[in-house]
Structure 1
Amino acid sequence: MQKIVYVLILISVFALFGVQCTQKEHELKEEIFYENPIILDLEEIQKRGFIRAIVDNSSTSYYIYKGRRMGYEFELLKNLAAHLGVRLHLIVQSDINEAFYMLNKGRADIIAMNFEVHESRFHLANFTHPLGEMGTVLVHHNDRDGINSWQDLDGKTIHIRKDAIYKAQLCKIQQEYGIQLSIIESNLDSDALIHQVKTGKIAYTVADKVEALVNASYHSNLTIEWEVAPKADVAWAVRKNAPALEEAINAWMSAKTGSGYVQTLYAKYYKNSTNSYYRSNSDFSSVAGNRISPYDEIIQKGADQLGWDWRLLASLVYKESNFDSEAESYAGAQGLLQLMPVTLQRFGVDNPQDPYQSLMGGVNYLKYLDRFWKERIPESNERVQFILASYNIGHGHVEDAWRLALKYGKNAHLWENVSTFLGLKSHPEYYKDPVVKSGFAKGHTAVNYVQDVLLIYESYRTLINP
């Protein structure tokens, strides 16, 4: 009984006073995961074929808007990946400490979260050349009294993002000015905390000045005038034992900054308040809503018939038509799922520009492909990849690759093996093989197509609720 009372008292104390400025918390929870980071540098990443980057889901960093992946960090990382000759895999992670853990354990290669370059983080990772500067401001509702000195905040509660540099900045202020703040660390990101200030759920938060300016530009009830810390360099983080990757990123950054590319992207996401408003308030934004397209309901019906996650079918629709029901390719493919005229007719589509007919025609074709592969590829997650490749290039070419995998003693139930032979179907040694029935094909385009759809799906699955 006494133990229960003690625990309840502790909970009450934390609820009332928040997190105080002591080192004990970090001493207790911090693993020494950074002392022996996994050995994984640029050569291994390029050989693997993709680079993994951790980002935020925010109105400036990375988000889905009308089905399209967007964001300042996203566009920079996509450009970097192309420069390095690899594909980009994104990891959405709001927990900063977990991000450093994943980096050092090799689950990620870059943390692109606009970190302030600060000595308290030097043991966790190396930092790239600065991408810019970040100042820190206090954000509060403008119906509160103005702040003329730090003493005006004595005894106040300030909610901040967990493991951000803001706590160290506020603790320093407490010491310098002899005030007492109740600092509540939250797993929410800065965008979400600013929204809570806007709605009156919390009184104060701290944020990057530029991010706060973006929010204040379309939320007129926010005040962001009180500076917590002056500008400091911000950069990305990489493992301490990945010098080649760090050097390559720095060289790319220098070139892109010199060309004006970085400045142009910065203006696009941070200086256009109208676009920022729509990105942050639209039902079709992963920051504010949970819709991908105007056709979500019919996509969900089609996905039910397939037994698919509707976000996977939405990824295929985006890849095919960008959710444009009137889209028509140079080859004559039409509608949301870009079916050719002969396929439209075969699967009962009279009007390919009618979203429902077009979508269901494509679903019926996908059901046909599912039946084609079901006995050969019984595992559903593997089979989806065979279906997607068949949708793109035709099931005859994929079947050829399946036969080649069997001939060369590989497990033909696995897409990883079959996709290798599909990619080889542009070489005479393989497309002239007696087991090949459909001849030459640029199979690598279908392999890339499958990867593209699944990467889009991963983004939708992470940012959009089922």
Structure 2
Amino acid sequence: MSRRRSNPLARWHLSRISAIRPPWGGVAWLGVLALALSGCHHRPVLNALQKVEKRGVLRVITRNNPTTYYQGPAGPEGPEYDLVHRFAAELGVKLRLIVPDSFNEILPMIAVGKADLAAAGLTVTPRRERYVRFTPPYQIVTAQVVYRVGHPRPRDVQGLIGGRLMVVAGSSYIERLKALKMRYPRLKWEATTDFSSEDLLGLVSEQEINYTIADSNAVALDRRFYPELRVAFNFSKPSGLAWAFPRTRDESLYRVAAAFIERMQKSGVLAQILERYYGHIASLGYVGTKRFMQDIKTRLPTYRKLFEEAGTKTGIDWKLLAAIGYQESHWDPHAVSPTGVRGLMMLTLDTADHIGVDNRVNPEQSILGGARYFKQIEKKIPTRIPQPVRTWMALAAYNLGFGHLEDTRILTQERGGNPDSWVDVKRNLPLLSQKRWYRKTRNGYARGMEAAHYVSNIRTYFDILTRVESKQPPAPALPPVRVESVASGLP
């Protein structure tokens, strides 16, 4: 039988206890020691979830870009922000966002517990799973190689050799590039900590570099602002984006988060969040985007003040009014449709009479009249429907008529959908042009698919105007910031 070795640290503690033994009797001393040890033994140890609840703050590492978190006109926005904001609300705590200097810092920070979780558009990879624990994915994306139109299109990895390829340091693309270099020894790339994926897409558009690699959601968003960008080929198979947690034995917070993600998927809330940020991005093509960017410079200055004044009078963002005006007439005050609507905001004669417009081709009257009409429609939308869904439904009604919007919402409910969800209503709008469905409605036939495209186009025009007006690069290089917000009043 082997003899148990004594613990040197334990011997040191015993010697210290002996050295500080008080002058009173041994029995009394043993009683005090037993009481102290008993107190230490029963001291509660908080798990990760309890620590967050006690702290009252959920600390989240994220990134500052269009696919995760950014400061919008009304405050913090972004797909990751909306989702993690809801999670903090369910926990009943505040949300603290931590934005590191570079993407390369995110995984090391979460691996050593610098925050409770990372919600930063992180792709799940086997290598990363060795260091962090991922939730079920909330979005599926594909890494894409991007180049600029007018330059030779690389058809595969071989085509990248000889060009300047730059990617974000620490990204999942680096792992695959290193593996590919075994097959293509001449393949070279630059890994940067100074630029984000959005910055690199801008550099490709400006012809500073030849290629970059970015996730498909980021590429789709930024092609609205850089219409010259093209996808050369997919660099990866579809992969999941997920939240990351420290890989420790304590899974209490992770399990709650994983259940939350699955619940958001089943309830349809996740689909609504993704619709808000991605549901309209494929509506404009290269020619349409180029023309709009040009018209912002040449046509908008003539009418901008009128849009701003109408916005002030009605409480509507002037950029939304400008987006409606562009969708209606391309900012042409003399536009006329085959159905008789005319003017910059393309008002019908009945609508013009209703809102007091006597000259539809007068830009000032048309813009203010259109703004007032839109406001009237928006007020009819049930107050329980939050923004920005109220605006999207009001836009559909502006195009279709309020009665047709209500018909669609009724059809949506009858078919098991949520009449207050734009995701579900948009899906059912095309039914208004199908006899088997519109014959059941009060207002009959309507071009519902056209209304869905109408809303998508205006959302895209609004996003572009907002970007242009910000007078900032697509992905501003911000210093590390902390943003605190009480997780209530959720979008």
Q: What TM-score do the two structures reach when normalised by structure 1? A: 0.51
Gaps of 5+ in 2: 1-45, 282-459, 486-491
Verify the 8 A CA contact 2:202 2:226 in the aligned structure 1: no
Verify the 8 A CA contact 2:142 2:215 in the aligned structure 1: yes
Verify the 8 A CA contact 2:96 2:483 in the aligned structure 1: no
User: Which segment is superposed worse, 164-173 or 250-259?
Assistant: 164-173
Match of 2:144 in 1: 137
C-alpha deviation, 1:201, in angstroms = 1.8
The higher-RCO structure (CA 8 Å, 6+ apart) is: 2
Matched residues in 1 for 2:65 and 2:199: separation?
9
Matched residues in 1 for 2:244 and 2:148: separation?
33
Candidates 174, 195, 208, aligned match of 1:167: 174
Verify the 8 A CA contact 2:165 2:212 in the aligned structure 1: yes
Match of 2:57 in 1: 50
Q: Deviations over 1:423-455 (max 9, x none)?
A: xxxxxxxxxxxxxxxxxxxxxxxxxxxxxxxxx
Match of 2:464 in 1: 278
C-alpha deviation, 1:95, in angstroms = 2.5
C-alpha deviation, 1:148, in angstroms = 2.8
Matched residues in 2 for 1:240 and 1:255: separation?
23
Amino acid at match of 1:152: G
Q: Are 1:206 and 2:392 counterparts? A: no
C-alpha deviation, 1:156, in angstroms = 2.3
SS of 2:224 mapped into structure 1: helix
Matched residues in 2 for 1:255 and 1:285: separation?
39
Q: Are 1:155 and 2:168 counterparts? A: no
Candidates 93, 98, 105, aligned match of 1:98: 105
C-alpha deviation, 1:288, in angstroms = 4.4
Matched residues in 2 for 1:136 and 1:276: separation?
27
Match of 1:254 in 2: 262
Relative to structure 1, the CA distance from residue 221 to residue 286 in structure 2 (aligned partners, 3 Å threshold; closer, same or farther) is closer
SS of 1:145 mapped into structure 2: coil
Q: How does 1:36-75 map to 2 (within 5 A)?
A: 41-75=48-82
Matched residues in 1 for 2:273 and 2:471: separation?
19
Matched residues in 2 for 1:64 and 1:89: separation?
14
Matched residues in 2 for 1:261 and 1:192: separation?
30
Relative to structure 1, the CA distance from residue 60 to residue 149 in structure 2 (aligned partners, 3 Å threshold; closer, same or farther) is closer
Amino acid at match of 1:226: F
Q: How does 1:334-413 map to 2 (within 5 A)?
A: none
Amino acid at match of 2:274: Y
Verify the 8 A CA contact 1:269 1:276 in the aligned structure 2: no
Matched residues in 1 for 2:48 and 2:471: separation?
35
User: Which segment is superposed worse, 274-283 or 172-181?
Assistant: 274-283
Amino acid at match of 2:150: D
Aligned-residue Cα RMSD (Å) equals: 2.7
Question: Which protein shows a greater Rg?
Answer: 2
Verify the 8 A CA contact 1:257 1:263 in the aligned structure 2: yes
C-alpha deviation, 1:126, in angstroms = 0.7
Q: How does 1:324-339 map to 2 (within 5 A)?
A: none
Matched residues in 1 for 2:108 and 2:124: separation?
18
Amino acid at match of 1:245: L
SS of 2:220 mapped into structure 1: helix
Relative to structure 1, the CA distance from residue 64 to residue 269 in structure 2 (aligned partners, 3 Å threshold; closer, same or farther) is same
Verify the 8 A CA contact 1:282 1:288 in the aligned structure 2: no
Match of 1:194 in 2: 201
User: Which segment is superposed worse, 149-158 or 125-134?
Assistant: 149-158
Relative to structure 1, the CA distance from residue 90 to residue 149 in structure 2 (aligned partners, 3 Å threshold; closer, same or farther) is closer
Q: Are 1:263 and 2:263 counterparts? A: no
Matched residues in 2 for 1:136 and 1:153: separation?
15
Q: Deviations over 1:201-224 (max 9, x none)?
A: 222110001211121234210011
SS of 2:187 mapped into structure 1: coil
Q: Deviations over 1:15-70 (max 9, x none)?
A: xxxxxxxxxxxxxxxxxxxxxxxx96111111110101111111221111225111
SS of 2:122 mapped into structure 1: strand
Verify the 8 A CA contact 2:96 2:484 in the aligned structure 1: no
C-alpha deviation, 1:283, in angstroms = 3.6
Amino acid at match of 1:265: I
Verify the 8 A CA contact 2:155 2:232 in the aligned structure 1: no
Matched residues in 1 for 2:227 and 2:204: separation?
12
Verify the 8 A CA contact 2:99 2:482 in the aligned structure 1: no
Verify the 8 A CA contact 2:148 2:207 in the aligned structure 1: yes
Matched residues in 2 for 1:77 and 1:154: separation?
40
SS of 1:230 mapped into structure 2: coil
Verify the 8 A CA contact 1:159 1:185 in the aligned structure 2: yes
Verify the 8 A CA contact 2:138 2:240 in the aligned structure 1: yes
Q: Are 1:243 and 2:429 counterparts? A: no
SS of 1:224 mapped into structure 2: strand
Matched residues in 1 for 2:463 and 2:255: separation?
37
Relative to structure 1, the CA distance from residue 217 to residue 255 in structure 2 (aligned partners, 3 Å threshold; closer, same or farther) is same
SS of 1:143 mapped into structure 2: coil
Gaps of 5+ in 1: 1-38, 291-455, 461-466
Matched residues in 1 for 2:219 and 2:255: separation?
32
Match of 1:124 in 2: 131
